[in-house]
Amino acid sequence: MMNTEPLPGSRKVIDGHERVYYDGYWIKYYAPPADSLHAKRQLIDALTRRLFNHVEHGINIPGSRLSEARQAYNDEQDPALKRVNGAMLAGSLFNRATDIITKLVEMQGLGVEITTDNALLRECGRSLQEALSLGRLVLHRSGEEGIDELWGEPLHAFSIPVDTFFESRYIKIASTMRDIDRLGAAIIQNTKDDPDFNGLAPLVQALTLAAHQKVEILQTDDTIFEVWPAFVVASENLLKFAPVIKSGGSLEYDRLQEEGLQLIAQGQRIISEIVRARTPMPKTTLEYIERLEAYRQKVVREAAR
């Protein structure tokens, strides 16, 4: 039997929108800008803002303070404090790279030719590379894990053609959609045998569908005024879900219902964090699914009493 799966990068119009295929998903397609230093500057600026929007507070240190940030990191001996100083150094390195790109674009606008072996371009690359190596020290704002992919993106945007970078983003979006689907399926799978949670599955499915739509569009897309409200409302509807209250239930039964509701709220939060970052969070996803599975086993044991 012939394999009919589309080739990666295949494009076609679906429901009036051009889409591109990667890893099982048809994702909304955006034509990349022409490859230029100006385009790279805009892209790195956007990726840097995005990075600082999703990582822990207090690490957005100006590039002009790089020497101070490095000295503080080198001098610190306490491991916990050194991690935070390393995160601050990474932030300063990122801002230094953005500062350099900004100035190079200004020079280019004045007619100065910027070649690929330019010393400042090499310095920009070194700053991004060092920031990437320190990115493992930086946590997501949830405090649960780092998002290494966000630290690597500006370096990729700097080092490869713009259209190649856009292609890599579609691959990342497909991976993000897959994790969203895994989370939704795990919530449904681990609550489906509990009659108290009848009616939950459609709410989870509505959230995952809205999450897909939010992940695939750019913030500048006009459909943001439809997609974001739909995602917010789907999240609110899931959080409003209330299980059937069984009269005469045991204390353990009541406690399990409360735990189930807390897990649903955690799932909504994790999906929301993944949607906003537009990148997978594998550690958080796996640990949450394990909590769901442990919860289901407790429900089964309680029902067998």
pLDDT per position as a tens digit, 226-263:
999 999 999 999 999 988 766 556 777 778 888 999 99
Sole residue written with tokens 């190596």: 133
What confidence score (pLDDT) does residue 185 get? 97
> What is the token pair recorded at 158?
């700097």
Cα–Cα–Cα angle for 282, 286, 291, rounded to 5 degrees: 150
Give me the residues of the chain with pLDDT under 50, please: 1
C-alpha to C-alpha distance for 294 and 296, rounded to whole angstroms = 5
Cα–Cα–Cα angle for 152, 228, 203, rounded to 5 degrees: 105
Q: What is the phi-psi region of residue 200: left when phi exceeds 0, alpha when psi lies from -120 to 50, beta otherwise?
A: alpha
What confidence score (pLDDT) does residue 226 get? 96
Residue 103's alpha-carbon distances to 38, 99, 119, 132, in angstroms, are: 11, 6, 13, 22
User: Does residue 29 contact residue 20 with C-beta atoms inside 8 Å?
Assistant: yes
* Per-residue b or e along 218-236, where b marks 16 or more CB atoms closer than 10 Å to that residue's CB: eeeeeeeeebbebbeebbe
Type of residue numbered 283: K
Type of residue numbered 269: R
Cα–Cα–Cα angle for 174, 177, 179, rounded to 5 degrees: 115
What confidence score (pLDDT) does residue 162 get? 86
What confidence score (pLDDT) does residue 109 get? 77
What confidence score (pLDDT) does residue 71 get? 96
pTM: 0.79
Q: How many residues does the chain have?
A: 305
C-alpha to C-alpha distance for 76 and 87, rounded to whole angstroms = 13
C-alpha to C-alpha distance for 28 and 144, rounded to whole angstroms = 30
What confidence score (pLDDT) does residue 1 get? 47
What confidence score (pLDDT) does residue 253 get? 74
